[in-house]
Amino acid sequence: MLFKVLRLATFILSVFCSQISWAQDPGVADKFEVTYGINRSNQSLLNGVLVTNKNDPTINITYETAKGFASIQNGVGLWLVRNDQVKVGYSLNYMMGRYATADTRYNGMGNVAGSVAGYAWGEWQPVKDAVTVYGNYSNALRTTNGALAQWGMTLGVPVVSRVNAFIDVSRYWANQRYLQTYYGVTSAQAGSSNTYSAYTPTTSGTLYSNTLWGAMVEATKDIDVVIGVGKSSATGLLMNSPLLDRKTQTNATVVLNQRFGVN
């Protein structure tokens, strides 16, 4: 499974870095950032977790050096490429589980254990601070959890001093094992839930698409405030699951991104 992750990382490199030096850029500074805030959604379609209306905390801690990185989002790993335009790394990360207590709609469905996962990710900025192309691939070491991937693009444009508008579009893909574990319903689960009919996904595919519009305000030289509103839309493949009761969900987010000096 880790071999599959490394193969994907190599593919990302061949696409993003064909005309860029593979050597690390010694001029790229170390980074320590903390992102924290609140996300409000009416239904989560992410990671097979359904939640009722509530405010969910958002946090990510990122530390980068010339050799490697550690973050909540990308795990702990090493660089393959790191310069001003391109970052590509591979790591060990964590794939979230699912718990019946999170939502009454999971009554009788049991829990899905989380798993350590092999992880590869890449980020390319062909236009610095204006265009970012990104992607990641996570393959759980617990084989039943399967594999999940994301790819997308962020476009930013200055509005007035210290204010930039942006739009981010992305897609999520999962293999058949992931779909079965998080969105499928076995015969035993159907009998225990007394709500859902059995459902067995037979193929891999795109789960849903995301669009987020927003603005980033430079509050100080070390703190940015990001405000956004967006929508997630499930594909027909995902809507075949009896666990989902709507095609789209809206969300709003407010986060602060704080940078700290690193020697």
Per-residue pLDDT reduced to its tens digit, 219-232: 999 999 999 999 99
- CA-to-CA distance for 249 and 181, rounded, in angstroms? 22
Q: Give the number of domains in the chain.
A: 1
Cα separations in angstroms, 168 against 171, 182, 213, 230, 231: 10, 26, 7, 9, 11
Average pLDDT over the chain reads: 87
* pLDDT computed for residue 88 by the predictor: 98
Residue 28 lies inside a defined structural domain of this protein:
no
Residue 214 lies inside a defined structural domain of this protein:
yes
Residue 31 lies inside a defined structural domain of this protein:
no
Residue 30 lies inside a defined structural domain of this protein:
no
Residue 50 lies inside a defined structural domain of this protein:
yes
* CATH code assigned at 159: 2.40.160
Q: How many CB atoms lie within 10 A of CB 200?
A: 11
Domain containing 253: what range?
A: 2-19+37-260
Residue 81 lies inside a defined structural domain of this protein:
yes
* pLDDT computed for residue 77 by the predictor: 98
Residue 42 lies inside a defined structural domain of this protein:
yes
Residue 198 lies inside a defined structural domain of this protein:
yes
pTM as predicted: 0.85
What pLDDT band is residue 52 in, cutting at 50, 70 and 90?
low
Return the structure tokens found at 156.
């930013």
